[in-house]
């Protein structure tokens, strides 16, 4: 059929780019440049009593280097019971070795391969403290009756529940069987069947190749409610209806992105609402974004999170960062897309406000970071990607993308993005590959409107470059004027013109109040606007930050309950940081953390504990 030459050319095109990227991933022990895993078949039992996933994974692989005699996988705190290999259709034991374990990266699992081996099977179990899982007691769920399990693989935690090549440079398809207690529903980042009976066994298939960090599962008392033709929500019964109402615009968001950037290629787009300990706002697990319940505000004010996770279906899941320093390729483009979606679905005014809030977060973050880490392409050698997390890849990335758009014009840039998503579909790329592509398809055709020098400045230099497209919002100018009048004592809080303020405007108001307010001023605001009691998790966060910084005593019980109930890193970390600024705050933080810690996911716990150690 194929001539040798065509086959060789195909091999170069299909395999070499992967291999070239993979060889550079500092956060993986694996050897995809020699043996490339292409498919997983999982059969796992969720043992809630032991808090372990138990079972096996069969890994299909291709030999990239024909002589390769070893398959190297990533693991973290896994107990490996047996390793087999299939040789000419027959399963045989394989020699294996688990390497020395590092606290952040886990340990390698090296399997000796027979020349004709084409599959490897690992029988294993996860550790109760697996960094990529959280096992919740019934009391930690909305319904309080059933336990809950969820995974969070990004960045390098998939290895704590499946031995695999844990690098985003490698893509795999998968099949899975999950065995769970009867009466619970299991879901995955794959084909989910909302009508599947809760009889203890669930089967899944993921035919689109995904990077390992998008492997995801959850088990709980989950029901399903459709929101649109291709969209729906899985949640505990107690919150299902509220969630479906909150996120009812998901289908229109999906339609808007498709119009701009091309067809959605992942079949369905559903949401899974997690218990409040979920350490992230959202996670773009394909076909099934994982979502914090802290964005169910009752007024759709925090739905940009959905726009964000949906946008990842293009930037991130279809076109993927090849290594973790390249994460701005995922998060920067996605943040840019988020604002575009917000603009299309809710209008320019709201999108601009959210751009400004994002920009202000970025400024604050940059001010507190070592300069080298404020580069879009940071050096993460030897560092845990979780520890190096910041707003830089998100908001600096989005600003950079916005500047490219402004320079060449929206129409031309939209076309560039459409092509980019198509040309790299189901591939992983490095920043260098992006630069080469942009040179060809954006910079050269622009006739001098944008230069490679400028692109390199954005990517390789710290901080925000001079001339960046700093966002602004008239709606915030009006808020700033009210704030000024109140601070100057010209108007009482009650007399402020706040009736029509949106949640974004409240956040801007609170985030921009100066330090050094008096107790009386805080009490006045609180009395006028009920801030301590706010049920909006973002408003409460902004207010509690102020309260802590000013030792505003009436807010202490709320600080306490907020930190105990919520485990979302972005909402709790700044509050702990603020508490740790004073000695009395440290004591308070210690007491709160002692009660809160058992409810936090491992990664959130590690982040907070690192603050205490500083």
> Which among ligand BES, Zn ion, none contacts residue 283 (Cβ within 5 to 8 A by kind)?
ligand BES
State how far the Cα of 249 lies from the Cα of 226, in Å rounded to an integer.
12
Q: Enumerate residues 306-345 that contact Zn ion by CB under 5 A.
A: 331, 334
C-beta of 364: minimal distance to ligand BES in Å? 15
Contacts of 561 (CB under 8 A, 6+ apart): none
CA angle 6, 9, 13 (to 5 degrees): 135
C-beta of 284: minimal distance to Zn ion in Å? 6
Contacts of 141 (CB under 8 A, 6+ apart): 147, 148, 220, 221, 236, 275
User: Among residues 281 and 378, whose Cβ is nearest to ligand BES?
Assistant: 281
C-beta of 612: minimal distance to Zn ion in Å? 27
> What does the block give as tokens for 74?
């990533």
Cα→Cα distances 41→56, 121, 380, Å: 8, 9, 32
Looking at beta carbons, which residue is closest to ligand BES?
281
111 phi and psi angles, rounded to 5 deg: -110, 130
User: Among residues 152 and 334, whose Cβ is nearest to Zn ion?
Assistant: 334
> Which among Zn ion, ligand BES, none contacts residue 29 (Cβ within 5 to 8 A by kind)?
none
* 309 annotated active-site: yes
**Dihedral class, residue 463 (left if φ above 0, else alpha if ψ from -120 to 50, else beta):** left
User: Among residues 326 and 331, whose Cβ is nearest to Zn ion?
Assistant: 331
Strand 35-47 with 171-179, pairing: parallel
> What does the block give as tokens for 599?
């409810």
* 583 annotated active-site: no
C-beta of 169: minimal distance to ligand BES in Å? 16
Count of residues near Zn ion by CB under 5 A:
2
Q: Which runs of consecutive H residues, i.e. helices, occur in 226-347?
A: 237-246, 250-261, 304-311, 328-346
> Which among ligand BES, Zn ion, none contacts residue 52 (Cβ within 5 to 8 A by kind)?
none
User: Among residues 283 and 589, whose Cβ is nearest to ligand BES?
Assistant: 283
User: Among residues 380 and 450, whose Cβ is nearest to Zn ion?
Assistant: 380
> Which among ligand BES, Zn ion, none contacts residue 154 (Cβ within 5 to 8 A by kind)?
ligand BES
* Binding-site ranges for ligand BES (CB under 6 A): 154-155, 280-284, 305, 308-309, 312, 331, 389, 394, 570
b/e string for 229-263 if b means 16 or more Cβ within 10 A?
ebbbbbbbeebbebbbebbebbbebbbbbeeebbe
C-beta of 338: minimal distance to ligand BES in Å? 7
**Other CB atoms closer than 10 Å to residue 47's CB: what's the count?**
19
- Catalytic-labelled residue, pool 309, 405, 482, 538: 309
> Which among ligand BES, Zn ion, none contacts residue 147 (Cβ within 5 to 8 A by kind)?
none
> What does the block give as tokens for 497?
């013109």
> Three-class SS of residue 7?
helix
State how far the Cα of 380 lies from the Cα of 366, in Å rounded to an integer.
17
State how far the Cα of 181 lies from the Cα of 199, in Å rounded to an integer.
8
User: Among residues 284 and 326, whose Cβ is nearest to ligand BES?
Assistant: 284
Contacts of 433 (CB under 8 A, 6+ apart): 17, 21, 322
> Which among Zn ion, ligand BES, none contacts residue 282 (Cβ within 5 to 8 A by kind)?
ligand BES
C-beta of 601: minimal distance to ligand BES in Å? 11
Residue 181 C-alpha from the chain's centroid:
28
C-beta of 568: minimal distance to ligand BES in Å? 7
- Catalytic-labelled residue, pool 339, 394, 562, 600: 394
Q: Enumerate residues 171-230 that contact Zn ion by CB under 5 A.
A: none
User: Among residues 329 and 531, whose Cβ is nearest to Zn ion?
Assistant: 329
**Binding footprint of Zn ion on the chain (CB under 5 A):** 331, 334
Give catalytic residues, as residue numbers. 309, 394
């Amino acid at each position: 059929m194929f001539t040798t030459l065509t086959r060789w050319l195909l091999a170069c095109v299909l395999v070499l780019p992967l291999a070239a990227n993979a060889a550079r991933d500092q956060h993986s022990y694996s050897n995809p440049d020699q043996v490339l895993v292409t498919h997983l078949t999982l059969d796992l039992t969720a043992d809630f009593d032991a808090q372990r996933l138990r079972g096996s994974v069969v890994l299909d692989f291709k030999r990239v280097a024909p002589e390769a005699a070893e398959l190297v996988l990533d693991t973290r705190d896994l107990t490996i019971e047996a390793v087999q290999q299939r040789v000419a259709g027959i399963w045989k034991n394989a020699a294996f070795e688990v390497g020395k374990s590092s606290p952040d990266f886990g340990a390698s699992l090296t399997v000796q391969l027979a020349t004709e081996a084409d599959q490897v099977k690992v029988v294993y179990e996860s550790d109760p403290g697996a960094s990529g899982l959280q096992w919740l007691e019934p009391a930690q769920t909305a319904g309080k009756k059933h336990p809950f399990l969820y995974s969070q693989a990004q960045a390098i935690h998939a290895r704590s529940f499946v031995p695999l090549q844990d690098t985003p440079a490698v893509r795999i398809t998968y099949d899975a069987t999950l065995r769970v207690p009867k009466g619970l529903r299991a879901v995955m980042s794959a084909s989910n069947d909302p009508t599947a009976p809760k009889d203890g066994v669930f089967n899944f298939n993921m035919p689109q190749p995904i990077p390992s960090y998008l492997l995801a599962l959850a088990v709980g008392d989950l029901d399903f409610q459709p929101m649109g033709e291709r969209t729906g929500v899985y949640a505990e019964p107690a919150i299902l209806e509220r969630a479906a109402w909150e996120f009812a615009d998901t289908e229109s968001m999906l339609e808007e992105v498709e119009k701009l950037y091309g067809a959605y290629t992942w079949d369905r787009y559903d949401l899974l609402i997690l218990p409040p300990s979920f350490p992230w706002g959202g996670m773009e697990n394909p076909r099934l974004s994982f979502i914090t319940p802290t964005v169910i505000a009752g007024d759709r004010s925090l739905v940009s999170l959905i726009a964000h996770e949906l946008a990842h279906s293009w930037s991130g899941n279809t076109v993927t960062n090849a290594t973790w320093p390249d994460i701005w390729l995922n998060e920067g483009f996605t943040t840019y897309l988020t604002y575009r979606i917000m603009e299309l679905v809710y209008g320019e005014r709201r999108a601009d406000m959210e751009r400004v809030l994002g920009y202000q977060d970025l400024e604050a973050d940059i001010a507190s970071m070592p300069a080298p880490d404020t580069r879009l392409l940071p050096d993460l050698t030897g560092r845990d990607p979780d520890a190096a997390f910041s707003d830089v890849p998100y908001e600096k990335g989005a600003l950079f993308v916005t500047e490219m758009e402004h320079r060449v014009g929206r129409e031309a840039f939209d076309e560039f993005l459409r092509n980019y998503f198509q040309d790299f579909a189901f591939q992983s790329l490095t920043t260098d590959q992006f630069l080469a592509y942009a040179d060809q398809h954006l910079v050269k055709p622009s006739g001098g409107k944008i230069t490679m020098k400028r692109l390199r400045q954005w990517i390789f230099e710290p901080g925000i470059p001079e001339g960046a497209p700093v966002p602004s919002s008239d709606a915030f100018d009006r808020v700033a004027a009210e704030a000024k009048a109140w601070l100057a004592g010209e108007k009482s809080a009650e007399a402020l013109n706040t009736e029509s303020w949106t949640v974004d405007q409240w956040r801007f108001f609170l985030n921009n109040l100066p330090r050094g307010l008096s107790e009386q001023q805080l009490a006045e605001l609180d009395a006028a606007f009920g801030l301590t009691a706010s049920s909006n998790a973002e408003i409460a966060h902004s207010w509690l930050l102020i309260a802590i910084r000013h030792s505003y005593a009436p807010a202490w019980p709320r600080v306490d309950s907020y930190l105990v109930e919520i485990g979302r890193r972005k909402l709790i970390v700044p509050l702990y940081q603020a508490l740790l600024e004073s000695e009395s705050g440290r004591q308070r933080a210690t007491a709160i953390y002692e009660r809160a810690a058992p409810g936090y996911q491992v990664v959130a716990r590690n982040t907070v504990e690192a603050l205490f150690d500083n």
